[in-house]
Structure 1
Amino acid sequence: MFKILGLIVGVLLLLIVLGGGLFVYKVKNGFPVSYETDPADISIPQEGIKVLLFSKTTGFRHGESIQAAKEVFGRISTEKGWFLYNTESAGVFNSEQLNQFNVVIFNNSTGRVLTDEQRLVLQEYVENGGKLIGIHGAGDDSHHWDWYETHLLGAKFSHHPLNPQLQEAQVSLQPGIDSVLSRDLAKEWVHTDEWYVFFEDPASRGFQILYSIDGDKILPSGNLLFIKSKEFGMGKNHPVAWFKKTGKGKTFYTSMGHNATAWGEEAFIQMLINAIEW
C-alpha cells in the first residue's frame, strides 16, 4: 500500500513539475503556432484615422483585459469616427495593407506572433512614419525581437511582483510632455496593476517618460520558490508609460493594463486616446 501511495505521490509531483515547466516556457517563449500569411479580407477607407488593434497571443494571455480593450476601442472609434480593424490574425502585416493604417496597437500581445518577414514589414512601417503602441503584456520577455525591444520598449523586462501580484500605486504625470500627449491627462491617479520591473530605465535609451510611480512604495519582489534572483525593483522613479520618435515614426508603450478594470478608468483610457492621436 505504501509503495502504491508513494508511486501516486511521485507521479503527481512529476505532473506538477512538468505543468509548471510548460507554463514557464509558455510565458517566456510562447507556444509554437501557425502563422497567418494570407492578406486580410478587409476594405480600408482612405480618409480618417485608421487603427489596427492586434490581440494575438502565443504566450500568457490576458484574456479579460484583451476583451475589455476591444470593447473600449470599439466604443471610442465609433464616437470619434475612426476606422478600427480588430484582429488576431497576422495576415494584415503586409506592406500594402499595413501602410494604410495610422497606428498599430499590440493589445497585450505576447509571444512570437509574426513571421520574420512580417516583423520586417512592421519595422519598415514604423521607420517610414507609422506608429506603434504596446500595452502591458506587449512588453514582457516573450517576444525575442531586438528591434522591438530597442524601439518600442527601450528596456528589457525582468519580472513582476508576486507577493502581492497586484498592488495599488499613485500614477504621476511627468512635466514637460508634448501637448498632444498631455492634453486632458490626469496629473495623478490611484491605479492597481501588475507593475512590470525592467532592467533599465527607458529614459536612458532616449525615451521620454509620460507616467511613473514611486517604486519604493510597492513590493517589487518576483522571487518564486527556489528562484531567489528577483528581489529588486526600479527604485523611486519607476516608469509606467513612455514614448519616442523612431525614424519618421513614433512608438508608445505602457506597462499598465494587466486587469480588465484598467479599461474602466478614464485616466488610463484618455492616455491611450492621446497616444493614438499623437
Structure 2
Amino acid sequence: MAKQFKALVFTKTNGWHHESILDGVQAMRRLAERHHFDMEWHEDPSRLNAENLKQFDVIVFLSTTGDIFNAEQKRAIEAFIQSGKGFVGIHSASDTEHNWQWYTKLVGHTFYIHPEIQTARLKVENKFFPGLEHLPEQFLWTDEYYEFSEGLNENLNYILTVDENSYSTDAQWGELSAKGMGDFHPIAWYQQYDGGRSFYTALGHMPAAYQQEIFLNHLYGGVYWAATGKGMLNQ
C-alpha cells in the first residue's frame, strides 16, 4: 500500500552536536510508522542532490548546525522547494548556514543566543495549525529557548510563542549577550516560500522532548503540512 508521502531526515552538524539527535530520529521513525509515511535518515550532504531529492516530498533538518553544503547541493535544495515541496526545521536548523541568505529566509529567523534550559510558559497563537488543536491556550514546557534575529520574511505565520516573564532570558557568551525579544517571542511558525512550504519549531533540544506526545503531535503537524500542504484548515 502506498504511503502518504516520503520524508528525508537530515542531521549533519558542523559545530554543536545535540545529544537529542538520535532521539529525534527514533521519534521520526515512530511517527512514520504511526502516520503511514516513508522516511530515510542521512547525514551525508551528497544525498541532497537534484536526482535523489526527486523521490521526497519534504526534507527535515533535525538539529543541523554550521555550514554543511557546497554550491551544487544548495542549488538542489533550492530547486526542491521551488518545485512545490516542503521543508521542516527543528531546533538548531536555525543555527545552520548563516551566510546562505536563501536558506535563512526559508527558516524565517536565525539563531542568536540562548539562556540556560528552563521551564517557561508557552502560548498557542494558532490552534488551527495541525498538531496544536488539542493544546490549551497556554502550557508549561521545559526547553532551551532561542533568541532570534528579526524575522527575515513578511509572510511568517506564528503558531507558538514563549512568555519572557515566565523565565530568565539572561545569557552572556563572551561579547554576545541575551536580553530577550520582548513582548512577542516566537518559537514556532510556518510560511509559503519560493514556491514551496516551510515549517520551523525551536523546541526539541532535550532528548526527553521526543518522548512527549505534546511535542510529537506538534512535530508531525509541521511535517504533514510541509509535505502535503494540508491541515485543519486550508493553510
Of Structure 1 and Structure 2, the greater helix share is in: 1
Pairing partner for 1:159 from 88, 110, 113: 113
Give the structure 1 partner of residue 215 of structure 2: 268
Q: Check the 8 A contact 1:184/1:270 in 2, yes or no.
A: no
Q: Check the 8 A contact 2:126/2:160 in 1, yes or no.
A: no
Identical aligned pairs, as a percentage?
29
Pairing partner for 2:163 from 211, 214, 223: 214
The Cα shift of 1:218 comes to 2.0
Larger radius of gyration: 1
Matched, 1:169 2:120: yes
Q: Check the 8 A contact 2:109/2:148 in 1, yes or no.
A: yes
Any residues of structure 2 matched to 1:22-171 within 5 Å, and which? 48-62=4-18, 64-140=19-95, 143-152=98-107, 154-161=108-115, 165-171=116-122
| 3-state SS, counterpart of residue 61 of structure 2 | strand
Pairing partner for 1:195 from 140, 145, 162: 145
**Which structure's relative contact order is higher, taking Cα pairs within 8 Å and 6+ residues apart?**
2
Matched, 1:239 2:189: no
Query: 2 CA distance for matches of 1:185 and 1:160?
Result: 25
Query: 2 CA distance for matches of 1:113 and 1:242?
Result: 24
Query: 2 CA distance for matches of 1:272 and 1:131?
Result: 14
Query: 2 CA distance for matches of 1:93 and 1:106?
Result: 12
For each residue in 1:15-70, what CA deviation from the matched residue of structure 2 results, as whole angstroms up to 9, or x when unmatched?
Answer: xxxxxxxxxxxxxxxxxxxxxxxxxxxxxx975310101011111000x2101011
| 3-state SS, counterpart of residue 171 of structure 2 | coil
TM-score (norm 1): 0.75
Aligned residues: 225
The Cα shift of 1:142 comes to 5.4
Of Structure 1 and Structure 2, the greater strand share is in: 2
Cα gap change, 1:74 to 1:156, in 2 (>3 Å): closer
Query: 1 CA distance for matches of 2:76 and 2:97?
Result: 20
* Counterpart residue identity of residue 126, structure 2: P
* Counterpart residue identity of residue 217, structure 2: Q
Q: Check the 8 A contact 2:3/2:38 in 1, yes or no.
A: no
The range that moved more, 141-150 or 206-215, is: 141-150
Query: 2 CA distance for matches of 1:47 and 1:261?
Result: 28
Query: 2 CA distance for matches of 1:185 and 1:145?
Result: 35
For each residue in 1:71-128, what CA deviation from the matched residue of structure 2 results, as whole angstroms up to 9, or x when unmatched?
Answer: 1111121222211101111222111221221110001011112111101110111122
Query: 2 CA distance for matches of 1:141 and 1:107?
Result: 11
TM-score (norm 2): 0.87
Q: Which runs of 5+ in 1 are unaligned?
A: 1-44
For each residue in 1:179-200, what CA deviation from the matched residue of structure 2 results, as whole angstroms up to 9, or x when unmatched?
Answer: x454444543321111100131
Give the structure 1 partner of residue 231 of structure 2: none
Cα gap change, 1:76 to 1:252, in 2 (>3 Å): same
* Counterpart residue identity of residue 241, structure 1: A
Q: Check the 8 A contact 1:173/1:210 in 2, yes or no.
A: yes
Cα gap change, 1:128 to 1:242, in 2 (>3 Å): same
Q: Check the 8 A contact 1:189/1:267 in 2, yes or no.
A: no
For each residue in 1:114-157, what CA deviation from the matched residue of structure 2 results, as whole angstroms up to 9, or x when unmatched?
Answer: 111101110111122110001111112654211111121x2232
